[in-house]
Amino acid sequence: MKKWLLLFCLIPLLSIGQTHRCVTDSLHRYKLAIDREYKLRYQNIEQSLQYHQLHKATTNDSAYTIPVVVHIIYHTDNASVENISDEQIQSQIDVLNEDYNTNNENILDVPTIWQPLVRNSKIKFVLANTDTNGNYTTGINRTATSITSAFSIFDNRIFSKVDGGDDAWNSNFYLNIWVCELENNILGFAAFPGTTSNSDGVVINYKAFGRFKNTIAPYNYGRTATHEVGHWLNLVHIWGDDNGACSNDDAIADTPKQANSNTRCPSFPKTDACTDTAPGIMYMNYMDYTDDRCMSFFTNRQVERMKQVLATLRNSIVASNGLASPNINQSDLSIDSIENPVTYSSNRCFQPKVKIRNNGNTTHSNITFNYAVSAGISKNYVWKDSIQSGETKWVELDEIGGDLGSNLFEVRIVNIDYNRVNNYKSASFRINNTSTFNCAISSSIAIYPNPFTNSNVLTIDANYPESQKATIKIYSNDGKMVYSKEFKFNPKDKLELSSLELSAGLYQMEFNGEINHDVKKFVVVNK
């Protein structure tokens, strides 16, 4: 009876129609009430961490790399949406690495008074290379479930293969992340240390996993996972989950007391009943409930608490073989990291730089990269150098540009190889140069080749210093429109039009942009 009364008490917290940022605390309190062993384990863990904190002489500055396995559970009737792409999964791993290593572009938004509290955790997340049996893996498990309804927070079928979910990999050695549809607009929940191993990990709604693409605003920057992994590393909500009493806090000395959660994007400074003087409450902390774009940092003491967990309770993950290099006898190229742009760029036009690795046993050359900024025109670059098995090399791509403010750089290797999961990388960054435009281009469009034949690709250079949406229209000499489509153009973008079937003659192209307008004529000749 006690169990069902507690379940009934939780129902008002999960009202239909309202988005629930995180229900980790609700689930945690429920487990404390019904599971005596869980309660004892959690109490012992807290006592151990407090002792560790009191008697620890030095700060933990160690770097940790955590192997991740992502379990995608999708309904067969909605597979096109729920069975998210490898690129979407990699974008979430990228967000975790940015946020936990202060490489997020909005780290610049942290108020000046709190900037000394910002700390790089040196915690890195990587999709596992090797499974629990020592075999090669992409770190992604996909399960088509016959379950027709969304999962509740009490539904242990999520964690069971035979029941329509997917089994956890050994939680001593992997961070398990389950991605599925959650009921009542719940975005995610996580297991605190001490949870039984079969459900030890993080669960995220597929609508909030990764950045942009299929995610829902304002939870489309991947910060749900950042928040929930914080719980997995034993951080609690910044307001201490005391319903505004100001009697509890988050056990973190350098975060101000806070009455309750915050939503949307408040204005700084914001005060409340628990902290009524400026600078007020730390609503932009990852452990609050604000919109993704407003979350920006962990404090020094939060990082110390997470690293205490990794040094003690979750220390076995350091010995994981999940990141061991398996024997691959096929071609396998990967993009390991992005050196530029990271966090911000001072120029509207910049030269991207990425680090690639040859994980296979075949020497490669003529590697093609496809890349774009913030959904602008994508560019291809062919790197003609060679990279041998086991080598890593830096590759500088051709210059590209973006908007002032927030941007997303995305790059992928086009070459087909054995493992495509690691062929994609993204970086969130900010262009902050508001005074000068450092990009030597003229103010017009260029069309080539001119004359043009249908066997060619018609290339359009939109040489404008301002990013803008524009419609390209092509008219024949008698005034008939034969082509029309809208694109987003960033500085230095080139648009390539293929499969144009145009009769011989004179044509006019119109560039109708939000800022610029231009007209060019070109000639089509017979093949």
Distances (CA, A) of 38 to 43, 48, 152: 9, 15, 20
Closest CA to 302 of 244, 241, 246, 231: 231
- Rounded CA-CA distance 382/385 in Å is 9
Q: How would you class 12 by CB atoms within 10 Å of its CB: exposed for 0-12, middle for 13-18, buried for 19 or more?
A: exposed
Contact residues for 199 (Cβ-Cβ < 8 A; gap 6+): 156, 158, 159, 168, 191
Beta bridge partners of 510: 473, 519
Catalytic (active site) residue 82: no
CB 244 within 8 A of CB 253: no
CB 321 within 8 A of CB 63: no
Letter for the amino acid at 256?
P
Determine which one of 98, 181, 228, 304 is catalytic: 228
Beta strands in 98-150 (DSSP E): 123-127, 140-145
Three-state SS at 243: coil
Structure tokens belonging to residue 67: 């192997």
Q: SS3 string of 257-299?
A: CCCCCCCCCCCCCECCCCCCCCCECCCCECCCCCCHHHCCECE
- Radius of gyration in angstroms for the set of CA atoms belonging to the chain, rounded to a whole number: 26
- Rounded CA-CA distance 270/343 in Å is 26
CB 299 within 8 A of CB 117: yes
What's the DSSP call for residue 171?
Answer: T
Residue 462 backbone phi and psi in degrees, to 5: -95, 90
Three-state SS at 436: coil
Closest CA to 438 of 401, 395, 394: 401
Q: Kindly report the length of the chain.
A: 527
- Rounded CA-CA distance 82/143 in Å is 11
Q: Are strands 364-373 and 379-387 parallel, antiparallel or unpaired?
A: antiparallel
Structure tokens belonging to residue 93: 């791993």
Catalytic annotation, residues: 228
